[in-house]
Structure 1
């Protein structure tokens, strides 16, 4: 099955929009509790004029004209109902390189590793693999993500402390089907069965 990979960050955000069931395996080199598990990742694309996008741009001293847009990422236990906890959410603002939109920077209101605002540098390879490098105060993170199909993607990441690699993660993510989409699929199959 062929897939057309996104080659800009905004295309990546658009292709990622929706809810994903994420299964994560963590290999931690320190003696801490296993953080492997399952969760829902909820992605919402944000317009460049969205107040939260403009607020981050203003705080970071970014010219709003250089902003392509953004996205809100939220995490939630996959069996939990209701709105996601805002403490497990981040907003990313995309500032592409004006000479090459396949690379650029994004500004995140809070980091995954350290809960502080961070800047990530990203690039898309010829095959569509997205690489993100992030510098924290005490850590360095690198994440790679790619779409295997339009509805299945993979993420791998490493976080390095000053003394070496701290942990590595592998996540496989499957797009969740909304009830309305499922109803539509059932109706199409019902109609197909009636005409067969």
Structure 2
């Protein structure tokens, strides 16, 4: 069976739901401590009727009727059992350009690079690669993300300051198996052993 990449933002969010183990390589072009490492990325769908859609749209001055829904993103240290810290979380809302959903705006309550509400432009290439461009007050960011399989995806991003590229990040992300799925796998294996 061949893998079909998502080609709309809402399909991308649906396919991204769950917990992902992120292995991150960060390259700064100035003297900054190394931020490479592992973390968990927790993604949950936000349906169109969710009050957060209306809240983020109104704050950005966008008619909530144009929104298709969105997703919440939270980051936490790998192997951390405590709930994710709200300081490392964001809500993204999809505002497609048209009914194809191949391009549009992503509005966020908080940006990745600067912790402020931000609007980004996105589009999907024919190959299924999602590109997101974001202009902040002091820099520009570009992120590209694509699924290799249902359970493995890749992200690459750059941050450009006024004097040039300042940061390049590469992330490989594997979907974590839920406790329920893991228990089912154990039971299936035990049943085969009998």
User: In which range does the TM-score fall when normalised by the shorter chain?
Assistant: over 0.9
CA distance in 2, matches of 1:99, 1:51: 23
- Where do 5+ consecutive residues of structure 2 fail to align? none
Q: Supply the distance in 2 between the matched residues of 1:19 and 1:44 (Cα, whole angstroms).
A: 9
Partner of 1:103: 103
Deviation at 1:99, TM superposition (A): 4.8
| Residues 17, 43 of structure 1: 8 Å contact kept | yes
Alignment of 1:21 onto 2:21: yes
TM-score, scaled relative to structure 1: 0.96
8 Å CA contact 2:160, 2:167 repeated in 1? yes
Identify the residue that residue 122 of structure 1 maps to in structure 2. 122
Residue in structure 1 matched with residue 131 of structure 2 by the alignment: 131
**1:92–1:108: 8 Å Cα contact kept in structure 2?**
yes
How many Å separate the matches in 1 of 2:63 and 2:193?
A: 56
Judge conservation of contact 2:53–2:64 (CA < 8 Å) in 1: no
Question: How many residue pairs align between the two structures?
Answer: 194
C-alpha separation in 2, matches of 1:125 and 1:80: 36
2:180 is the counterpart of 1:190: no
SS at structure 2 position matched to 1:110: coil
Question: Is the Cα–Cα contact under 8 Å of residues 2 and 149 in structure 1 kept in the other structure?
Answer: no
Map 1:58-73 to 2 at 5 A: 58-73=58-73
Within 5 A, what are the aligned runs for 1:12-91? 12-91=12-91
* Aligned equivalents of 2:117, 2:30: Cα separation in 1: 25
C-alpha separation in 1, matches of 2:34 and 2:108: 26
**8 A contact 1:3–1:147 mirrored in 2:** no
1:124-176 Cα shifts (integer Å, max 9, x gaps) = 11111000000000110000000011000000000000000001000000000
Structure 1 stretches lacking a partner, 5+ long: none
CA RMSD of aligned residues (A): 1.1
Classify the secondary structure of the residue corresponding to 2:101: strand
The TM-score with structure 2 as length reference comes to 0.97
